[in-house]
Structure 1
Amino acid sequence: MTFSGRSTRSKMTAMVILATTFLGFPAFAQQNVASRPEDLIKPVTQCREVQNDAARLACFDAAVAALAAAGEVAIVSRRDVEQNQRRLFGFNVSALNPFEGTNGENNLQSISATMTSARDLGRGEWLITLDDGSVWRKTDSADVQFSARRQYPVTVRRASLGSYMMKVGDAPPFRVKRE
């Protein structure tokens, strides 16, 4: 690109315009990329309702362009989300967990399993392993009222302030944390 015949001031003005145009474009494109995954998928599904073939194709083209501009996009089935919520239940990974809803919505509130083993650690502490492989440590001073040699149905539920309560068989619940 040459600027022959133009003054230095004109050259500088042209360069500033070009720079702001090309440097500003990525910022503009990023602002128009949806911040939530559902904002990327919803337009695709809405295009199906367009009756005119040419308009529907244009709608799909625009929706796919938005998906492409978003970079890598992964689609996860509800079943996979539920399995991952169960696998992560009890761990404090909410900031890292893409499968946990905001403000507690759609979050798993409890799990049911079978106790496969329980180990008395002394001083009222117990390690309890469930059939899903999760290991829980009893954290309160309540006496346990179950036999470590039997398998019991277990329910672990969210309690207040980020804690968890475990109910083993018909025994009273006690506080636990995930190991």
Structure 2
Amino acid sequence: MQIQELYNCRDIADPTERLACFDREVGELQTADIQRDITITDRATVQKTRRGLFGFTLPDFGLFGGGDEDEIKSIESTVASASQVDGGRYRIALADDSVWVQTDDRRLALAPRAGQKIQIKTASLGTYFLSLEGRPSIRVRRER
């Protein structure tokens, strides 16, 4: 693994050899970065990416950290637009450009309107609940 080779340089006792090792390994790491063989990012970028992918089921390649502390369990946004689709269900576009479609038959007392605050939470078995300004939730799935 590329980064491990760099870390191994710390264990070299001779200062000249250690510096040569660091120079060599940093150069290889930089080349790999330029050629896009690796990507180095910070936690804030990972969280932003995870939030953007919220609602999609993706294979776990270990790309975005791991463990429950990194998992996003809900998002908050605002409605950009909403329209009714088959059976009176809603298709709701959010300010972050994601699109969610209602999957249950629950009727909303008031139609979603642009600018309304929205919260989407994970539910069981890969499903999601959407709540408009604290009203009772509807079940949704992410379309885009």
Query: Do both share a fold (TM > 0.5)?
Result: yes
The Cα RMSD (Å) is 3.3
Aligned residues: 139
Name the residue aligned to 1:41: 3
Distance change (3 Å), C-alpha of 1:143 and 1:44: same
Equivalent positions of 1:19-168 (< 5 A) are: 34=1, 40-41=2-3, 44=6, 47=9, 53-60=15-22, 63-64=25-26, 67=29, 72-95=37-60, 99-102=63-66, 106-168=70-132
**Larger C-alpha radius of gyration, 1 or 2?**
1
- The TM-score with structure 1 as length reference comes to 0.61
Greater percentage in helix:
1
Distance change (3 Å), C-alpha of 1:130 and 1:90: same
Asked if the contact 2:92–2:100 (Cα under 8 Å) also holds between the matched residues in 1, the reply is yes
Structure 1 residue 42: Cα displacement: 5.4
Q: Unpaired segments of 5 or more residues in structure 1?
A: 1-33, 35-39
Structure 1 residue 102: Cα displacement: 4.5
Q: Unpaired segments of 5 or more residues in structure 2?
A: none
| Higher RCO by CA contacts (8 Å cutoff, separation 6 or greater) | 2
- Residue 157 of structure 1 aligns to a residue whose secondary structure is strand
Q: Which amino acid in the other structure matches residue 132 of structure 1?
A: D
> For residues 69-111 of structure 1, what are the alpha-carbon distances to aligned partners after superposition, in whole Å with 9 as ceiling and x for unaligned?
9x8222123333222222221122235x764344656232221
